[in-house]
Amino acid sequence: MFAPSTPGVRFEWADSRVLEGVRTDVAGFVGIAARGPVQEPVRVESWGQFVSIFGGHLSHAYLAYAVEGFFVNGGRACWVVRAADPQTATPATVDLLDGRGRLGLRLEASSPGAWGRQVSILVGRQGRERFSLGVRLPSGESETWLDLTLAVASLDLFDADGQPTLRLEAYDPRVLDHAVAVSVEPAGGSAEFTLELDPELRQDRDGSELLGSESFVGLSMHPEHPRYAPRMLAADGVSRYVTAIDLSSPTRFPDNLPAPLRPSHEAGLGLLRNDPRNVRNLLAEGSQLVRVSAASSKASMPDRDSTPDPNWLPQGRTWLTGGSDGLATLSSVHLSGSGAPLGALWGFAALESVDEIGIVAAPDIMPRPDVGAPPRQAAEVNCHCLEDPAPEQPPVAPIEVPPPFSPVQLDVLQSALIQHCQTLGDRVAILDPLPNLVTPQQVTEWRQQFDNSYAALYFPWLDVPDPLRLAGLLHRVPPSGHMAGIYARGDREEGVQRPPANQRIEGTRDLAVIVDEIDHGYLNSVGINVIRAFPGRGLRVMGARTLSSDTSLRFVNVRRLLILIREVLDQGLQWAVLEPNEPALWEAIERLTESYLHRLWRQGALDGANRDQAYYVRCNEVTNPPEEVAAGRLICEIGVLLPPPAEFVVIRIGRSEAGVEILQVTQETRRG
């Protein structure tokens, strides 16, 4: 440190970099749900939030039971992927007519699935252009929307015969306070036209600069044309201001092109006329149950002047119809994600983009219970709204169930789950045994298929309270969801170094198989973690082994501690990429890494009577000879002494221009 010779104030730059810990308690689940986004990871932070997004328990799936077990046992956050066939999963819909029998509004369920058939709709008039909308599920979940309107900022374009041919509708909320001038010009001959959109103001409400005018050249009104106007201007297309609807003009192509139009007061998209109570905007932003369906043709397109008429509904209330869960065509591809179409992420692959996940489970790989449909329950009656009595039960529809997986497919799926964890290197898989494996010999034979430290197997299945009463008060479920909660609870309370064993399992009443002391010892020796019942102590998990034959990685907490160290180093040392590969950088990396490992040792995560026994870090001219430096690599060698068993695990960190690379080398040693 510089020693000043004169009084005064001086400044020194201090290195503020520090390796921070990462979360390891976040779980990822892939399975079958009643509703919710299909093949899209959604973060869930409570059981109530899961129910509001994905629905409750199902008679033909285990996902809801697993997620409930996760939160009951101490989990705080998880990511859920609803597995289904996106090509066959469709939402239920209903058409609401106006007073003249025309289509006034088309509604669809907020997500695909037969669950939408349970949604009932009640419409009420509130003036000539206003109406109310009541949405209800038999479970009592309901929404009421008042003072709605179909008004939308729009402009109809006409062809040369005066027939409406194309409707432009505004959808970008950033320009709700402005207007957009519209211009139409012929282009490329008589079969194409050019459309220009020019906002009158260039700033939004906050003063931010808007994107400028838009010009679309060579548009066509032929549906098979590559630049078909409604497709080019769709909400998911390239225009930032409008979407387009083909009005199906009776004039044949190519005479159905919009006639030339010059910008004027009448030829502008008057966004100031956009009503804040527009039904499409309100339901898209706030409804958990329904959305306004996009129109595709004149016959199915709501008229701007049409308002749904309650007198056209059956007895004042109607149900959504149709809808498919996408389960009849469910295959192993929709769970593993291997073999999905280009650009599509399904099942386990959908979880790859979520970096914070540390635990993964897929309970719906297992065979489904054969218990039939749950009994129908009477709808709740709201005594405060007697003028709107509870609706009758919707028509009974057959339950769509997925085809069962063969033993070979089950093996492939569980192997894919393990490979998912090993490839990413930042999570572990919790596996379930088949429900018909009830003897130690049977479950051991199944376990022999796997040899990997990124997975753990738990036996037997659990009997949990069943709100559906499928086969009585209890329902048999895989243990993976409950175990994920125990992992998460231990991580938060003590740290990832704590073995997830000798922990009480909450939310369960009994076991599918009672394991005695002799069988427990046999199963534990082959790496199967046993759940046992102890008088006065409840149901407890009495094992913490991975499925690895490598004795240095046979414990779950060892593997997960290595994952934690890897993740911290990977995230905390990214700043070193492209830095000058010289002793100053080596010293900085060594200092930061030693500081983090010292904190782990002080917390009890590393073994050893002193720091020299617990870990070592070497990043100097020995680990970085001239040939490595010339190749653009930086090598930092780290050794840690993990509590069980007694061995050193060496981690070599390589820095190249492409990023940070981590290689794990296990060296088993003995303590004297």
The model's confidence at residue 189, banded by pLDDT at 50, 70 and 90, is low
- Direct distance between the N- and C-terminal alpha carbons of the chain, in angstroms, rounded to an integer: 42
The model's confidence at residue 370, banded by pLDDT at 50, 70 and 90, is low
Say yes or no to pLDDT of 301 above 60: no
Strands (E), 391-467: 428-431, 455-459, 462-465
pLDDT of 246 reads: 86
pLDDT in tens, 15-47: 557 777 789 999 999 999 999 999 999 999 999
ω before 460 within 30° of 0 (cis)? yes
- Using CA atoms, how far residue 300 sits from 102, 106, 208, 235, 248, in Å, is 9, 8, 38, 18, 11
pLDDT in tens, 273-299: 456 788 887 888 889 999 988 655 444
Please tell me the least confidently modeled range out of 114-118, 256-260, 313-317: 313-317
Name the percent of the chain lying above pLDDT 70: 82
The model's confidence at residue 371, banded by pLDDT at 50, 70 and 90, is low
The model's confidence at residue 304, banded by pLDDT at 50, 70 and 90, is low
Say yes or no to pLDDT of 376 above 70: no
Q: What would the mean pLDDT of 636-655 be, rounded to a whole number?
A: 71
Whether residue 325 contacts residue 112, with contact meaning beta carbons closer than 8 Å, is answered with: yes
Tokens of 266: 């009448």
Task: In whole angstroms, give the CA distance from residue 665 to residue 168.
Answer: 62
pLDDT in tens, 140-187: 889 999 988 887 777 888 888 888 888 887 765 544 455 778 888 888
Say yes or no to pLDDT of 326 above 70: yes
Tokens of 562: 């290595």
Whether residue 414 contacts residue 421, with contact meaning beta carbons closer than 8 Å, is answered with: no
Please tell me the least confidently modeled range out of 135-144, 614-623, 662-671: 662-671
pLDDT of 475 reads: 94
Name the percent of the chain lying above pLDDT 90: 52
pLDDT in tens, 421-464: 999 999 999 999 999 998 999 999 999 999 999 999 999 999 99
- Using CA atoms, how far residue 470 sits from 32, 58, 473, 513, in Å, is 17, 10, 8, 20
pLDDT of 88 reads: 95
Whether residue 366 contacts residue 435, with contact meaning beta carbons closer than 8 Å, is answered with: yes
* Three-class secondary structure of residue 413 per DSSP: helix
Whether residue 228 contacts residue 221, with contact meaning beta carbons closer than 8 Å, is answered with: yes
State the CATH class of domain 26-86+329-368+404-493+501-543: alpha beta
pLDDT of 77 reads: 97
pLDDT of 600 reads: 92
The model's confidence at residue 622, banded by pLDDT at 50, 70 and 90, is very high
Say yes or no to pLDDT of 131 above 60: yes
The model's confidence at residue 248, banded by pLDDT at 50, 70 and 90, is confident
**Residues forming CATH 3.40.50.11780 domain(s) in the chain:** 26-86+329-368+404-493+501-543
pLDDT in tens, 531-555: 999 999 999 999 999 999 998 899 9
How many other C-beta atoms lie within 10 A of the C-beta of residue 264? 10
The model's confidence at residue 645, banded by pLDDT at 50, 70 and 90, is very low
pLDDT of 162 reads: 85
Task: In whole angstroms, give the CA distance from residue 583 to residue 74.
Answer: 46
pLDDT of 280 reads: 80
Say yes or no to pLDDT of 329 above 60: yes
392-413 burial: b if 16+ Cβ within 10 Å, else e: eebeeeeebbbeebeeebbebb
Say yes or no to pLDDT of 632 above 60: yes
Q: Is 140 left (phi over 0), alpha (psi -120 to 50) or beta?
A: left
pTM: 0.80
pLDDT of 204 reads: 53
458 or 407, which is more confident: 458
Q: What would the mean pLDDT of 564-584 be, rounded to a whole number?
A: 90
Please tell me the least confidently modeled range out of 118-122, 129-133, 334-338, 516-520: 129-133
Long-range Cβ pairs for the range 141-149 (8 Å, 24+):
141/288, 141/289, 143/287, 143/288, 143/289, 143/290, 145/279, 145/282, 145/283, 145/287, 147/277, 148/277, 148/278, 148/279, 148/282, 149/275, 149/277, 149/278, 149/279, 149/307
Q: Which amino acid is at 228?
A: Y
The mean pLDDT value of the chain amounts to: 84
202 or 292, which is more confident: 292
470 or 615, which is more confident: 615
pLDDT of 276 reads: 72
Say yes or no to pLDDT of 209 above 70: no
The model's confidence at residue 514, banded by pLDDT at 50, 70 and 90, is very high
- Dihedral angle over CA of 250, 255, 257, 261, nearest 10: -110
